[in-house]
Amino acid sequence: MNNYHNNKQGAPRTHQDPTRNSYNKMNTERNDTLIYALGGLGEVGKNMYCFEHENEILIVDAGVRFPEDNLLGVDYVIPDYGYLVKNNRKRKVLVITHGHEDHIGGIPFLLKSVDIEAIYAPAFAVALINKKLEERKMLRSVKLIEINDRSSLKMNYFTCGFFNTTHSIPDSLGILINTPNGRIVTTGDFKFDLTPVGNNADYQVMAYMGQIGVDLLLSDSTNSGVEDFSISEKKVAQEILDIMKKTSGRLIVATFASNIYRVSQILEAAVACGRKVIIFGRSMENVVTIGRKMGKIKVGEQHFLSIDQLSTTPANKTCIVCTGSQGEPLAALSRIANGTHRYIKLIPGDTVIFSSSPIPGNGASVNQVVNKLFRAGANVLTKSVLTNLHTTGHASQEEQKLMLQLIKPKYFMPVHGEYKMLKQHKDTAIETGIPRENIFTCANGDVLILRDHKVYESSFRIPADDIYVDGNDISGVSTAVLKDRKILADNGLVAVIIAIDSKDNKVLCKPVIVSRGFVFIKDSQGLLKEAEMIVYDALNEKMKQRTTFSDLKNTVRGSLEPFLYNKTHRNPIVIPVIINSKSAMQAMAQARAARMAGKRIPRNNVAPATEKQEKAE
């Protein structure tokens, strides 16, 4: 099933700032500049921030969020593009701050429904976007323009400049947006690392923007609850090198594929310790290929192992770099831990390094993988107070304060974070001297008005639902589908196969009930026989009068669902299958015999005929 769901009723506010008076909101006027988020507020992921003036919309980032465990069968969560579709006649340009999935993952879905004039993105993000669009055969669907800190973007109403920031991926940028009503700065994802592995942040440019005056700042809130400064990426690299020097057996290192600086440091440490490297995991392979092509990874081909060479290379000369640091079920490390990987079997004495921290919500999955690795005899190392095996790419409290002091905004809007993070960032901003009434903790869909260098809350709201994507198409996973999946997971399925003769208006034989995931058939013969009689009696009563296929299905559900709940206190999905043919008698008899023997019913024995939507006589 390839589809998504769009709830037409509009998204409810995920949070309301209790310090604000909802009656003081302003109506929008023609010359106002509007600022709103379609994703990224009240959540970590699917970042998408829009700036609108008259007939132009400047979009910053178009990300996805990965689904929680309760969203069964959902691949991605993306923003609701309905407002942009409604305003398709307006000129729209997309600017990307960096190449992480929560900032670029939604681009293919956006391009399918919204007219985008061009995408402007830094070099590494361009390479990742090209790969993504190439896989979907969408390379010609939009113009992709590379930018850097010296670039500028000029529209009729917006002029953008860019500045370098430090993050866990190369070529991350912040944006200065000049509008007819004032200046806006959005930081993108950032941290301050005084000894970075890649480029340094443009401190002087940030300070200069603060001197010339910034009306509104949008700043990364992910680590608002973390005190002090984050540790440097170089300290992590040194820790990994020290561990590799001390380790005598085989090394398996799991990290975020997108953190190319970390991947590069791991590969260089392996080479320095005389180890050959092999990469597992599709996303890791893609990033390493792109990183080497762009010169971000400077490890030569002679230091890599092929699959054929892996089994003949000594364990102490091998380093495996793979995906799965978040316990993803299908990632390389999870398959290694489960013993299902095609090429790697754990050996007692292997050392597994998690160069990552669990994303909120992934802790249980990571712990499960760690336990399996320990059971297989591996030595597992994770980030702790004793080991600096990971550092964040997001600013902690003191770094957030530094950004606020450099930019010196009149107004502040914390972005990129759950409500708790936005609120903590607001408190940090108050500490730096920004007046409480000048700080806006918004939800997706809330609109701010920039008017003559002042910021107001708008009474106008934009629908900003979550869109649930199953596959790649945008043709509709509804909440009803998700509800059915949840029922199937919790209560199972009951199919009721009924043979009727519509000409004689009668049921030809007792129904056959088949259960999957509801009860164990061999142990529940009495229950199923009783259920068959209840349905049979209800159908006979119903068919004493003229009726329709729809009426018969409702009769089956209306009689069977209460009975099953009373007996089991469970509500399985009940699916009536009506076969309108006398020749079905023999198939029904075979199906019942097979069920009694506890065997699976052959599909060709109970294949329903096409229903004719006519009244049974």
Closest CA to 124 of 161, 166, 169, 165: 169
- Evaluate the CA torsion angle 93, 97, 99, 103 in order and state its sign: negative
Asked whether residue 289 is marked as a ligand-binding residue, the answer is: no
Give residue 580's pLDDT.
Answer: 80
CA distance 425 to 396: 10
Asked whether residue 186 is marked as a ligand-binding residue, the answer is: no
What CATH number matches the domain at 233-381, 2.60.120.620, 1.20.1560.10, 3.40.50.10710, 2.40.160.40?
3.40.50.10710
For residue 434, pLDDT over 80 is answered with: yes
Written as six digits, the tokens of 9 are 């009723």
Residue partners of 526: CB distance under 8 A and separation at least 6? none
Mean pLDDT of the chain: 86
* Intervals of CATH 3.40.50.10710 along the chain: 233-381
Specify the CATH number of the domain 3-11+31-228+392-470: 3.60.15.10
Asked whether residue 393 is marked as a ligand-binding residue, the answer is: yes
* Intervals of CATH 3.10.20.580 along the chain: 492-605
For residue 613, pLDDT over 60 is answered with: no
Residue 220 designated active-site: yes
Residue partners of 198: CB distance under 8 A and separation at least 6? 166, 170, 261, 296
CA distance 353 to 345: 16
- Which residue is catalytic, options 17, 32, 215, 220? 220
Residue 50, SS3 per DSSP: strand
Q: Please write the tens of the pLDDT for every residue from 48-88.
A: 999 999 999 999 999 998 877 666 677 888 999 999 999 99
Specify the CATH number of the domain 492-605: 3.10.20.580
Q: Please write the tens of the pLDDT for every residue from 181-234.
A: 999 999 999 999 999 988 899 999 999 999 999 999 999 999 999 988 988 999
> CA distances (Å), 308 to each of 278, 318, 343, 430, 530, in order?
11, 13, 9, 59, 60
CA distance 148 to 117: 19
Longest dimension (CA), the chain: 89
The count of residues in the chain is 617
Please, where are the H alpha helices in 323-473? Answer: 332-338, 363-375, 397-407, 419-431
CA distance 459 to 462: 10
> Of all residues in the chain, what percent carry a pLDDT higher than 90?
57
Give residue 512's pLDDT.
Answer: 87
Residue 394 designated active-site: yes
Please tell me the least confidently modeled range out of 6-20, 125-139, 142-156, 359-373: 6-20
Give residue 465's pLDDT.
Answer: 83
Q: Please name every residue paired with 297 in a beta bridge, in sequence order, or none if there are none.
A: none
Written as six digits, the tokens of 172 are 């991350």
Asked whether residue 452 is marked as a ligand-binding residue, the answer is: no
Closest CA to 47 of 154, 172, 196: 172
Mean pLDDT of all residues in 235-248: 92
- Which residue is catalytic, options 171, 193, 202, 394? 394
Asked whether residue 82 is marked as a ligand-binding residue, the answer is: no
Asked whether residue 219 is marked as a ligand-binding residue, the answer is: no
pLDDT band at 489 (very low <50, low <70, confident <90, very high): confident
Q: Please write the tens of the pLDDT for every residue from 544-582.
A: 888 888 888 888 888 898 898 888 888 888 889 888 865
Asked whether residue 167 is marked as a ligand-binding residue, the answer is: yes
